[in-house]
Amino acid sequence: MATLPLLTDEAADPAARAVFDDIRAKRQTEYVNNFWRALAHDPALLQATWDRLQQVMAPGALDPLVKELIYVAVSVTNGCAYCTHSHTAAAKAKGMTPDMHAELLAVIAMAAQTNALATALQVPTDERFQA
């Protein structure tokens, strides 16, 4: 159902397979999800995306769960079904409780609503909001 077949380990190029193995090692699971298997047709893009993802999602000034909540919010707003599923699952794995999930949904819905109103009204930005 993808625009390119999902590559099994056998079908993947050695460079792509090395990324699969790194995903397995870092995530401590045998499972490599469909996104990486679809991306594996271009080993360089696969590698660049996986490397960047690790850097961006690492603990920093924001903790990994907060980053995952932000990731879900963007994915929902972009209407990406795959990403909404995969990052909601990731957020749960990183400790998102049902209450957190409920509040995440409420904030996303609230923002969608006021975004629409501000755009419909074409509200000019207050001077004090500008850096």
* Nearest approach, Cβ of residue 74 and its own copies (Å): 4
Q: Which of 10, 14, 28, 81 binds its own copies (CB under 8 A)?
A: 81
Question: What residues from 93 to 112 belong to the interface with its own copies (CB under 8 A)?
Answer: 97-112
Question: Given the complex with its own copies, which of 5 and 8 has the nearer CB atom?
Answer: 5
Query: Quick one: how far is CA 84 from the chain centroid?
Result: 8
- Which tokens is 86 given? 């995969």
127: DSSP letter: G
Question: What residues from 10 to 39 belong to the interface with its own copies (CB under 8 A)?
Answer: 31, 33-35, 38-39
Report d(CA 9, CA 110) in Å as an integer: 43
